[in-house]
Amino acid sequence: MYLKEHTIRGLHGFLDSILKRYALRGGRAIDLGAGSGALAVRLRELGFEVIAVDVSNERFKADIPFVQMNLNNPIPCSLEDRGFDFVTAVEVIEHLESPIAFLRYVRSLLKPDGIALVTTPNMDSAPSRFRFLLTGKLHMMDEKVPNHISPIFYDLFIRQYLLQAGLKLVEHLLFPMKGYKVSRKRYSWVFHLLARLLPGNNLFGDVNVFLLKAIDDDDAK
Residue 220 has pLDDT above 60, yes or no: no
Answer yes or no: is 101 within a domain: yes
| Alpha-carbon span 50 to 1, nearest angstrom | 18
Answer yes or no: is 64 within a domain: yes
Residue 111, classified by CB atoms within 10 Å of its CB into exposed (0-12), middle (13-18) or buried (19+), is middle
Quote the pLDDT of residue 8. 76
Answer yes or no: is 86 within a domain: yes
Min mean pLDDT across 6-10, 47-51, 79-83, 148-152 is at: 79-83
| Alpha-carbon span 202 to 200, nearest angstrom | 6
**What's the rounded mean pLDDT across residues 195-221?**
80
pLDDT in tens, 186-204: 667 666 667 676 767 788 8
Min mean pLDDT across 123-127, 155-159, 160-164 is at: 123-127
Quote the pLDDT of residue 173. 96
Answer yes or no: is 36 within a domain: yes
CATH assignment of the domain containing 91 = 3.40.50.150
DSSP 187: G
Min mean pLDDT across 78-92, 133-147, 191-205 is at: 191-205
For the chain, give the percent of residues with pLDDT over 90: 62
**Chain centroid, CA 154 distance in Å:** 13
Quote the pLDDT of residue 133. 81
pLDDT band for 78, please (50, 70, 90 cuts).
low
Residue scoring higher pLDDT (101 or 74): 101
The pair phi, psi for residue 52, each rounded to 5°, is -110, 140
Domain assignment of residue 165, given as a range: 11-122+146-182+204-214
For the chain, give the percent of residues with pLDDT over 70: 84
Answer yes or no: is 135 within a domain: no
| Alpha-carbon span 16 to 219, nearest angstrom | 29
When divided into structural domains, the chain yields a total of: 1
Answer yes or no: is 29 within a domain: yes
Distances (CA, A) of 84 to 51, 93, 135, 187, 203: 10, 19, 42, 43, 33
Structure pTM?
0.90
pLDDT band for 79, please (50, 70, 90 cuts).
low
Answer yes or no: is 219 within a domain: no
Answer yes or no: is 98 within a domain: yes
pLDDT band for 131, please (50, 70, 90 cuts).
confident
Q: Does residue 169 sit in helix, strand or coil?
A: strand
**What's the rounded mean pLDDT across residues 74-103?**
86
Min mean pLDDT across 21-30, 161-170, 183-192 is at: 183-192
Min mean pLDDT across 26-40, 70-84, 156-170, 196-210 is at: 70-84
Query: Are the beta carbons of 176 and 98 closer than 8 angstroms?
Result: no
> Would you list the DSSP string of 83-146?
-EEEEEEET-GGGSS-HHHHHHHHHHHEEEEEEEEEEEE-TTSHHHHHHHHHHS--TT-STTST
